[in-house]
Amino acid sequence: MRYSKLFGKTKKEAPKDEVSTNAKFLMRGGFIDKLMSGSFTLLPLGYRVKEKIEQIVREEINKTDASELLMPLLHPKTIWNETGRWDKAKEVMYQFKKGDKEYALSFTHEEIVLDLARKYVSSYKDLPIKVYHFSTKFRDEPRAKSGILRGREFIMKDLYSLHETSSDLDKYYFEVAEAYKKVFKRMNLDVKITEAPGGVFTDNVTHEFQVICETGEDTVYYCDRCEFSQNKEITKLKEEDRCPNCEQGRIKIGRSIEVGNIFRFGTSYSEKMGVCYIGKNGQKQYVHFGSYGIGITRLIGAVVELFNDKKGIIWPKEIAPYKVHLIGLNKKADEAYQKLLDQEIEVLYDDRDVSAGEKFADADLIGIPVRLVISEKTNGKIEYKERAKEVTELLDLEEVVKRV
């Protein structure tokens, strides 16, 4: 992609009302634009990052034998009334009337997926069901001031599963937890699987995937030795307590960002909505139900909060919008650009007629993992530099291709 043709160029300043690091760098870098408080357009660069994150999630979730579909965003009141959440979640949901009908916007999809599933489930042979989608969620957040971390409109991957028994649900629940670990690892995120309260979703304990980050909104109490972690909202521990799990480590307190969560509802929803199946024993039983979320657009924000320096973003390799950022300071760059494209390498090529200094500053702000420079000084070779390192090297094109 020629940077001269890209929509969404870098800006010197971010809007004054955006205080978070993610909003500042993502807006200045041309990844997102703010339509209104808590609502952002994903510009072409940001859209590419979103697509890459989704593809990682898709690959790992597909391995659990789940199928991708797409459920609607506009929901009838009648279905939300079946579980009582039309009233229970009134503050966070966008609800309205048009003509003589009442609607809500998708703040989540449990009721909708169960309404769907009950049309297809009659026997144990129809179970398990594992379906997911990437879709828009709407939540009227009172505190929408953390950039893309907490939007009124955002993109989630939500997966739902229906099973015969509680132990089938448990088994899949932990399979999804493992899939999530792989997802976050591929994005260079070190997550703590944290016991947490269920909010308007469930009274049961749930698990959140929390990334330690000093600018996070959550607080977790975690062990410095083992994987134990609890959300502040349910813990009874204090800092430096002995870990109740491994009995060796000490409890530390950290600010964190929730990037995923998983819920076991048991039969609570299926009882309210009458989602039954005839079991092997010939008896009618309620399905066991779970749901599993990953905040896709929130992940973009979390990664930026974690991986940045004074100059800008430092994208992890797997989700960077392009693999290399080519800076052309003489006409030979055009040729190298074409050669990189021929090798099917994703290149952002700064072909603008602006100063070298401006191009370097923009490359640091945008944060693509590898920067290549071609100028009179590079003398037929290419200057190679990783965004996270200071050292530069002069390489042949072949060597560059090999490394990328």
Determine if 290 is a binding residue for its own copies (CB under 8 A): no
Candidates 39, 165, 219, 375; binder of its own copies (CB under 8 A) is 39
- Select the span of 6-14, 16-24, 205-213, 262-270 touching its own copies (CB under 8 A): 6-14
Round to whole Å and give the CA distance between 206 and 204: 6
Beta strands in 148-283 (DSSP E): 153-163, 191-196, 206-212, 218-223, 229-231, 251-266, 276-278
The residue length of the chain stands at: 404
Residues 6+ apart with CB under 8 A from 269: 83, 110, 111, 114, 275, 289
Q: Does 67 bind its own copies (CB under 8 A)?
A: yes
Taking the complex as a whole, the smallest distance from the CB of residue 98 to its own copies amounts, in Å, to 6
Kindly state whether residue 42 participates in binding its own copies, applying the rule CB under 8 A. yes
- Minimum CB separation of residue 202 from its own copies in Å reads 23
Rounded-to-10 torsion of CA 254, 259, 263, 269: 130
Q: How far apart are CA 200 and CA 255, in angstroms?
A: 23
Is residue 104 a contact partner of residue 94, using CB atoms and an 8 Å limit?
yes
User: What is the separation of C-alpha 75 from the centre of its chain, rounded to a whole number of angstroms?
Assistant: 24
Shortest CB 66 distance to its own copies, Å:
9
Instruction: Please tell me the count of residues contacting its own copies according to CB under 8 A.
Output: 48
Interface of this chain with its own copies, residues 136 to 155, rule: CB under 8 A? 136, 138, 140, 152-153
> Considering the rule CB under 8 A, would residue 370 count as an interface residue with its own copies?
no
What's the rounded Cα separation, in Å, for the pair 22 and 14?
11
**x/- site string to its own copies, residues 72 to 101, per CB under 8 A?**
xxxxx-----------------x-xxxx--
Binding residue for its own copies, selected from 131, 287, 303, 370, defined by CB under 8 A: 131
Q: Which is nearer to its own copies, 38 or 254 (CB)?
A: 38
User: Smallest Cα–Cα separation from 23: which of 201, 148, 207?
Assistant: 148
Residue 319 in tokens: 């989700």
Among 58, 71, 307, 386, binds its own copies (CB under 8 A): 71
Say which residue the tokens 């993610």 belong to: 22
| Site for its own copies contains 168 (CB under 8 A) | no
φ/ψ of 129, rounded to 5, equals -120, 130
Single out the residue of 59, 68, 217, 398 in contact with its own copies (rule: CB under 8 A): 68
Residue 377: count other Cβ atoms within 10 Å of its Cβ: 11
In the set 40, 201, 221, 222, which binds its own copies (CB under 8 A)?
40
- Of 23, 29, 46, 289, the one binding its own copies (CB under 8 A) is 46
Among 47, 124, 307, 360, binds its own copies (CB under 8 A): 47
List 14, 23, 26, 43, residue binding its own copies (CB under 8 A) = 43
Q: Is 60 in the site for its own copies (CB under 8 A)?
A: no
Shortest separation between residue 9's beta carbon and its own copies, angstroms = 7
**Minimum distance of its own copies from residue 286's CB (angstroms):** 19
Backbone angles phi, psi at 171, to 5 degrees: -60, -45
Residues of span 16-35 touching its own copies by CB under 8 A: 33, 35
* 8 forms part of the interface with its own copies (CB under 8 A): yes
Cis? peptide before 128, omega within 30° of 0 = yes
Residues 6+ apart with CB under 8 A from 42: 31, 32, 50, 297
Q: Read off the tokens for 189.
A: 């995120």
Three-state secondary-structure class, residue 7: coil
Select the span of 5-13, 180-188, 228-236, 274-282 touching its own copies (CB under 8 A).
5-13
- Decide whether 138 or 337 has the Cβ nearer to its own copies: 138
Binding footprint of its own copies on the chain (CB under 8 A)? 5-9, 33, 35-36, 39-44, 46-47, 50, 65, 67-76, 94, 96-99, 103, 105, 112, 115-116, 119-120, 129-131, 136, 138, 140, 152-153
